[in-house]
Structure 1
Amino acid sequence: MRSRWRGQAGRLEVWYTTLTDPATGTGVWIHHELVAPDEGEARAHGWAAVFPPGETPVFGRFGPFGWSHSEDADFAAGPVVQGGGRLTGAAGAISWDLRESGGGPPLFTFPRWAWRSEVLPAAQIVPKPAAAYDGAVRFGGRTLELDGARGASARIYGHGNARRWAWLHADLGGGDVCEIVAAVSTRPGMDRLPPLPFVRLRVDGVELPGGDPLLAALRLRAGIGLPVWTVHGRIGDRRIHVRVTLPQDETVSVDYADPDGAPAVCHNSERADVRIVLARLAGRGWETEREWRLDGTGHAEVGLR
């Protein structure tokens, strides 16, 4: 989880945590960014949002602060600190003090070589895909006490945000998870291609699809839109269909700025509805092997220019 930035201009590094309180169904999103612009000093900033069921989400920002490397934390900016299994901070009317435990082995949504070599415009990894969170989140005069809330902490590193993107983290229970990033690059030529969906399932300790996620992505198709986006296609000898719905009244819209100053807007909900169907070829047809339905517990996002 430590910073990968080595002083280069034109880089974006993100640490984010999402979780769902099992007692109330409330979703929480904590987003940290290091932006190293094409010109000027690096800055650290971010935001947090709380999604009580059936209510308008509460949203707040922190920073920007100057970036300084910390030996004791993965991210530190003003009152906001993440590291050593602890997340603390404040953003607007929201504050948090959380302890993070467990998570299982890292999930490489993008190929391992892409994360390590940095040859793609950006890459994402989920170091703690099935973590548990304890502590408190305070917002709007209320306190949300968390005891074993399920969620994940993830990382992004690259040159900026995609031209369009969709993201999903789905806790499927028992340590099983589904992570999806579907994106269109901003690079000339690549920006005319359809969205490339990177899909990673961990079910009963087995990761699907097997092999290189980039090669697997070539057999998948994504439809990015609001309030619904989808991914479908073949993963090995199986077929997958994913449908994600972001509820309009439980979604926040957040404006971004890339290192080159280009604007983007993401639409995020930690109360998304998700349906995932995994089918296997049997004889001359397909038979449903596994199916998951998440009502208001999916963590999802759509980014647009």
Structure 2
Amino acid sequence: MPRWCGEPGRTEVWYTTVTDPDTGCGLWLHHELTAPADGSAPYAHGWAAVFPKDGPVRHARFGPAEWTLEASGFSADGATARPGRLTGSAEGGALRWDLAERPMDEPLFTFPRWSWRRPLLPAAQMLPAARARYDGTFVHDDTTLTLTAAPGASARIYGHGNARRWAWLHADLGGGDVLEIVAAVSMRPGLRRLPPLVFLRLRRHGRDWPRRPERPALGWAGAGRFRAAIGLPTWTVTGRCGLRRIRVEVTQPADRTLALDYTDPDGRHAMCRNCERADTHVLLERWWWGGWRTEAEWSLDGTAHAEVGTR
């Protein structure tokens, strides 16, 4: 069900990222509802992008189109995003897709669960399923990708628009483990001068760490916040909670990264640089007998999904 309830100055996003295990291609489907702050009619738009392993990034947009309320999900200009199904085309059919989605995990709330029900924060993000598998076809120009149990995930965003600066990561670590990160600097006065607030959720062996989503962003009375160094081509997140600490390094090579302009409900613009074939190294350590010991370590070569946004 769409989260938007008719208020002006809001945006809602349904997006999906997938890795084709056979070809190494990354896919990105973005569906967006924008309700302008001036009260004018809401509109729907989006895009599809493919990140081939052996060629340039290709993308195409659909919309803008008049927004029509859907009982479940998104539908506009021939593109649909509903539970269990993603279909559509862009650029006169040069890009087209028909994908079935199979949830493989429980929902993952990157932000506190209450922030999705009560929109008090500038924005909130969540995954209806932390991991999913995709079957179907994605056609770009004269190439057809046939996906079979391709790993990926869909996510939802609801808020007032884009942050001043942000970084995002979705990493399927294998074996049922997944890492989701959103680090952002708010546009709100009084918050825009703060360092990025980090929301990090590591689901490992079916358990989420840190246990409380707000812990990496707020620490304890401000102390112990996780830190993000946002930049390109490499950005990092580090932090400690309890007896564990984590370091995440994400690299978005320029030739695998797509730059797109975002428009907020108030008409301001932001630049997103997205890479669906990012490299990631994750080191999880635990304090044990007076020293830090490696508890788990993952390296992803071209299979992580990442983004950096700026003004």
TM range (shorter): over 0.9
Give 1:103 deviation, angstroms: 2.8
1:59-110 Cα distance to aligned partner (Å, 9 max, x none): 1100000000122x41000210111411000122211000001231100100
The answer on 1:294 being equivalent to 2:300 is: yes
Seen in structure 2, the aligned counterparts of structure 1 residues 237 and 194 have a Cα distance that, compared at 3 Å, is: same
- 1:224: which partner in 2? 230
CA–CA distance in 1 between the matches of 2:14 and 2:182? 15
Give 1:214 deviation, angstroms: 1.3
Give 1:13 deviation, angstroms: 0.3
Give 1:142 deviation, angstroms: 0.5
The answer on 1:207 being equivalent to 2:208 is: yes
Matches within 5 A, 1:1-305: 2-39=1-38, 40-71=40-71, 73-92=72-91, 93-210=94-211, 212-218=212-218, 219-305=225-311
CA contact (8 A) 2:182 2:199 kept: yes
- Mean Cα displacement is larger for which, 47-56 or 131-140? 47-56
Q: Which amino acid in 1 is paired with 2:29?
A: I
CA contact (8 A) 1:55 1:249 kept: no
Q: May I ask how many residue pairs the two structures share in their alignment?
A: 302
CA–CA distance in 1 between the matches of 2:213 and 2:3? 22
CA contact (8 A) 2:216 2:239 kept: no
Q: TM-score, normalised by structure 2?
A: 0.96
- Mean Cα displacement is larger for which, 181-190 or 278-287? 278-287
Query: SS in structure 1 opposite 2:214?
Result: helix
Tell me how large the CA RMSD over aligned residues is: 0.9
CA–CA distance in 2 between the matches of 1:283 and 1:8? 54
CA contact (8 A) 1:275 1:292 kept: yes
CA contact (8 A) 2:2 2:70 kept: no
Give 1:231 deviation, angstroms: 0.2
CA–CA distance in 2 between the matches of 1:263 and 1:42? 17
Q: Which amino acid in 1 is paired with 2:60?
A: G
CA–CA distance in 2 between the matches of 1:250 and 1:31? 18
Give 1:28 deviation, angstroms: 0.2
Give 1:128 deviation, angstroms: 1.7
Give 1:233 deviation, angstroms: 1.2
CA–CA distance in 2 between the matches of 1:299 and 1:198? 16
Give ranges in structure 1 of 5+ residues lacking alignment: none
CA–CA distance in 1 between the matches of 2:24 and 2:130? 19
- What fraction of aligned residue pairs are identical, expressed as a percent? 59
Q: Which amino acid in 2 is paired with 1:288?
A: T
Query: SS in structure 2 opposite 1:190?
Result: coil
CA contact (8 A) 1:103 1:152 kept: no
CA contact (8 A) 1:58 1:140 kept: no
CA contact (8 A) 1:107 1:126 kept: yes
CA–CA distance in 1 between the matches of 2:81 and 2:157? 15
Give 1:283 deviation, angstroms: 1.9
Give ranges in structure 2 of 5+ residues lacking alignment: 219-224
Give 1:216 deviation, angstroms: 2.8
